[in-house]
């Protein structure tokens, strides 16, 4: 059953308070909906943002004064002004209200053309401006109360189509999460829908460049990566796959920065004489395939698909009349997918990169065509129960249901890099956890090896690592940046691939539990310092990352301010352990960045090997002294791990599920240099590691003096 027709959008009657044209719905102990609709005709359908209003039935009390309705739950007391609909919240005797000043911000539609400059837009309103990252409001706030206005959001019908609201209404949601940001995000997801589980290939290294490759050049490049033992999982084919220059002269670009062939669906045979074989060759190399779309200009008469598209849309092909792009038209929408996209998907395209840059207006009043593209493309690529993704820009609250996010064309400069760690983690405040950046930057730049490596290191410890650049500038192959930079970049890309078990598990936790892969530090710790270290974030459940975003000093090391919460933390790269609850200045050479594992952390990785294989048949699991537990997920099974340290002895347990496909596990006790192991059966042991068959087992590791 579709999420849009399962009845969850209608709240239980006992959770509503109605006074004429005013309705208040108590969604949870901390979430309130406030509506005013003429004639008392309220909205019970899913909207572009909200799909479930019935997931909780909280207990509450109602009292009333001349000007206010007071809703008291076990957590919060809400004061709703009957006239203005302004809401104040009281917790612990302190009354606060939503404000733009206290709001922690959400995310932005795009970083196109930005140099790392942020502009916070009040209450989510305001026009986008070039050169700024226009950050709109989120649902988290320093004072514990935020508000989201859903009044302009359209309705989603049972079949997934979009419809206007029946009448103009005020429709807003108040979130009184206090300082429980992680718990609040889970409630927000319950209201707005879960983030879908991503296919595994999305979590590896992507290759992308805006460049007119021939198919042989592209395949040769993939082979060069393989020759240098640099794994990739996604091959991105930018817009030059289709006819771009050889278009009839009567077609002019709508934007002077674009070309007349910006939109296209017919392969350029000069570059790709046999695209089916090209797809087959990429698949043989273990690569998923995505291709770029700019659908604004519809389907024109020179396209191979034009006759079929024209007839499907009621146009005489002999007229050569353009089939205009209009996803609000059901005939066009069906033909758009059936004729333009599904044939390519059958031939090997796994998903589409939707590069919409043409504004927010469509033929349906109030409907953003970008949101519609994201909605329908996700519904289509995931048809028949498939697990799929798109790559597209952010289109407002609720967009987390349509991952992945393409953040746009940034400038190659240190300021752009400095913005991205904060920008990525902060997006959790509106539930948007899967940003994909142009790693290394898109435009300009002079091939600075240090900036390139630092950006790539952030990419490895970010949701999606997609190397990208424009055609006019230095590309992002590691070997173009000098011998030292190449070695470091290649090592980090290998690390990204090896981290797939950890990344895929974080992916599962996002989809099942609403836990973002990247989250601001204040999601995990209640401390003023957690708000100050803006470029530091949690990465999965076990690690803290603080990417380097500034140049090195004369000594060759960069300096990064890092706050470590209470406890013992171990440097992921050096193995050095430090006590937390303090702010440190970490010096790092180009070869590493500050990444710290918590006490009792367990980090599963693919065992070292060559190639693009994404199978978890052989694992390496890093174990850090302390007490902890961790469940690693694969596509077919799972493994429960637990660790407990007592003195110099660490006890580590392995318990795989019956459908787990892992065969061997190399257990590395990261806080030891040398250990004695007590295990019934093992394949090999050396230093601080032991390799065992993947079956239920207990390993005792006793630290012994190094030889």
Cα atoms in the 13 Å half-sphere on the side-chain side of 466: 30
**SS3 assignment, position 198:** coil
Contact 55, 169 (CB under 8 A): no
Contact 102, 141 (CB under 8 A): yes
pLDDT (average), residues 644-672: 96
Lowest mean pLDDT among 48-62, 184-198, 251-265, 434-448: 251-265
Contact 637, 660 (CB under 8 A): yes
State the Cα–Cα distance between residues 569 and 626, nearest whole angstrom.
10
**SS3 assignment, position 224:** helix
The strand ranges marked E within 153-295 are 155-156, 162-163, 169-175, 205-207, 234-237, 288-293
Q: Which residues pair with 664 in a beta bridge?
A: 618, 693
pLDDT (average), residues 85-111: 94
pLDDT (average), residues 554-568: 97
Contact 235, 289 (CB under 8 A): yes
- State pLDDT tens for residues 317-357: 999 999 999 999 999 999 999 999 999 999 999 999 999 98
pLDDT range class, residue 92, cuts 50, 70, 90: confident
**Mean pLDDT computed over every residue of the chain:** 94
- State pLDDT tens for residues 20-76: 999 999 999 999 999 999 989 999 999 999 999 999 999 999 999 999 999 999 999
- State pLDDT tens for residues 223-238: 999 999 999 999 999 9
pLDDT range class, residue 212, cuts 50, 70, 90: very high
- What angle (nearest 5°) sits at the alpha carbon of residue 436, between those of residues 214 and 358? 75
pLDDT range class, residue 128, cuts 50, 70, 90: low
- State pLDDT tens for residues 348-387: 999 999 999 888 888 888 899 999 999 999 999 999 989 9
The DSSP secondary-structure symbol of 548 reads -
State the Cα–Cα distance between residues 275 and 269, nearest whole angstrom.
8
Beta pairing class for 155-156 and 162-163: antiparallel
* Whether this model's pTM surpasses 0.85: yes
pLDDT (average), residues 469-483: 93
Q: Residue 465 corresponds to which tokens in the numbers above?
A: 């690592």
pLDDT at 129: 52
Q: Residue 530 corresponds to which tokens in the numbers above?
A: 């957690």
pLDDT at 446: 84
pLDDT range class, residue 5, cuts 50, 70, 90: confident
The structural domains of the chain, ordered by start, are 13-103+138-192 (2.60.40.1760), 519-596 (2.60.40.1180), 602-703 (2.60.40)
- State pLDDT tens for residues 249-292: 999 877 777 788 999 999 999 999 999 999 999 999 999 999 99
Question: Is 174 exposed, middle or buried (CB count within 10 Å of its CB: 0-12, 13-18, 19+)?
Answer: buried
State the Cα–Cα distance between residues 317 and 314, nearest whole angstrom.
9
pLDDT at 124 over 50: no
Q: Which residues pair with 22 in a beta bridge?
A: 19, 36
> C-alpha 2: how far from its chain's center?
23
Q: In angstroms, what CA-CA distances link 90 with 83, 173, 220?
A: 20, 16, 64
- State pLDDT tens for residues 524-544: 999 999 999 999 999 999 999
pLDDT at 126 over 70: no
pLDDT at 707: 66
pLDDT (average), residues 299-323: 98
pLDDT at 130: 52
**Which residues have CB under 8 Å from 552's CB, separation 6+?**
450, 558, 589, 590
pLDDT (average), residues 97-114: 92
């Amino acid at each position: 059953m579709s999420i849009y027709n399962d009845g969850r959008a209608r709240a239980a009657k006992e959770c509503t308070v109605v006074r004429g044209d005013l309705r208040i719905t108590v969604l949870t102990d901390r979430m309130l909906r406030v509506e005013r609709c003429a004639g008392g005709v309220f909205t019970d359908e899913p909207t572009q943002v909200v799909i479930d209003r019935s997931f909780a039935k909280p207990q509450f009390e109602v009292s009333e004064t001349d000007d206010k309705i007071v809703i008291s739950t076990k957590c919060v007391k809400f004061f709703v002004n009957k006239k203005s609909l302004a809401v104040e919240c009281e917790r612990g005797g302190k009354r606060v209200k939503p404000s733009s000043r206290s709001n922690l911000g959400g995310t932005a539609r795009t970083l196109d053309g930005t140099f790392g400059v942020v502009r916070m837009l009040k209450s989510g309103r305001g026009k986008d401006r070039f050169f700024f990252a226009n950050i709109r409001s989120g649902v988290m706030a320093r004072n514990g109360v935020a508000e989201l206005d859903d009044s302009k959001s359209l309705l989603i019908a049972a079949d997934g189509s979009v419809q206007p609201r029946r009448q103009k209404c005020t429709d807003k949601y108040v979130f009184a999460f206090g300082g429980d940001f992680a718990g609040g995000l889970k409630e927000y997801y319950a209201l707005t829908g879960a983030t879908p589980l991503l296919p595994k290939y999305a979590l590896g290294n992507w290759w992308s460049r805006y460049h007119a490759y021939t198919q042989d050049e592209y395949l040769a490049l993939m082979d060069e990566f393989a020759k240098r033992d640099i794994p990739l999982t996604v091959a991105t084919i930018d817009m030059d796959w289709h006819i771009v220059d050889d278009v009839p002269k009567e077609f002019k670009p709508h934007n002077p920065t674009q070309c007349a062939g910006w939109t296209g669906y017919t392969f350029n045979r000069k570059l790709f004489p046999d695209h089916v074989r090209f797809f087959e060759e990429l698949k043989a190399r273990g690569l998923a395939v995505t291709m770029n779309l700019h659908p604004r200009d519809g389907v024109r008469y020179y396209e191979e698909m034009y006759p079929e598209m024209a007839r499907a849309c009621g146009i005489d092909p002999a007229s050569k009349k353009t089939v205009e792009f209009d996803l609000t038209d059901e005939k066009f929408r069906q033909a758009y997918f059936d004729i333009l996209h599904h044939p390519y998907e059958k031939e090997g395209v796994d998903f589409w990169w939707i590069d919409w840059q043409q504004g927010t207006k469509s033929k349906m009043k109030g409907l953003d065509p970008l949101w519609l593209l994201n909605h329908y493309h996700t519904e289509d690529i995931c048809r028949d129960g498939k697990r799929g993704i798109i790559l597209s820009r952010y289109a407002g609250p609720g967009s987390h249901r349509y991952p992945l996010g393409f953040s746009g064309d940034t400038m190659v400069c240190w300021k752009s890099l400095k913005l991205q760690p904060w920008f990525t983690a902060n997006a959790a405040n509106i539930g948007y956890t899967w940003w994909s950046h142009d790693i290394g930057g898109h435009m300009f730049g002079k091939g600075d090896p240090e900036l390139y490596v630092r950006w790539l290191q952030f990419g490895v410890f970010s949701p999606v690592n997609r190397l990208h650049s424009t055609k006019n500038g230095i590309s992002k192959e590691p070997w173009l940046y000098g011998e030292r930079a190449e070695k470091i970049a290649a090592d980090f890309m290998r690390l990204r691939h090896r981290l797939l078990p950890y990344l895929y598990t974080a992916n599962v936790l996002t989809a099942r539990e609403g836990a973002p892969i990247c989250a601001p530090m204040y999601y995990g710790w209640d401390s003023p310092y957690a708000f100050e270290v803006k470029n530091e974030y949690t990465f999965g459940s076990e690690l803290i990352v603080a990417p380097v975003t500034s140049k090195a000093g004369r000594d060759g090391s960069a300096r990064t301010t890092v706050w470590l919460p209470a406890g013992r933390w171990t440097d992921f790269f050096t193995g050095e352990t430090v006590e937390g609850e303090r702010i440190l200045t970490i010096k790092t050479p180009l070869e590493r960045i500050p990444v710290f594992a918590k006490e009792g952390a367990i980090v599963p990785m693919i065992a070292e090997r060559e190639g693009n294989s994404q199978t978890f048949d052989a694992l390496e699991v890093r174990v850090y002294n302390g007490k902890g537990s961790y469940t690693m997920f694969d596509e077919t099974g799972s493994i429960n791990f637990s660790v407990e340290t007592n003195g110099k002895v660490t006890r580590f347990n392995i318990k795989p599920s019956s459908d787990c496909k892992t065969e061997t596990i190399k257990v590395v006790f990261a806080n030891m240099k040398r250990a004695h192991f007590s295990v019934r059966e093992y394949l090999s042991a050396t230093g601080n590691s032991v390799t065992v068959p993947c079956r239920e087992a207990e390993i005792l590791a006793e630290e012994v003096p190094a030889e």
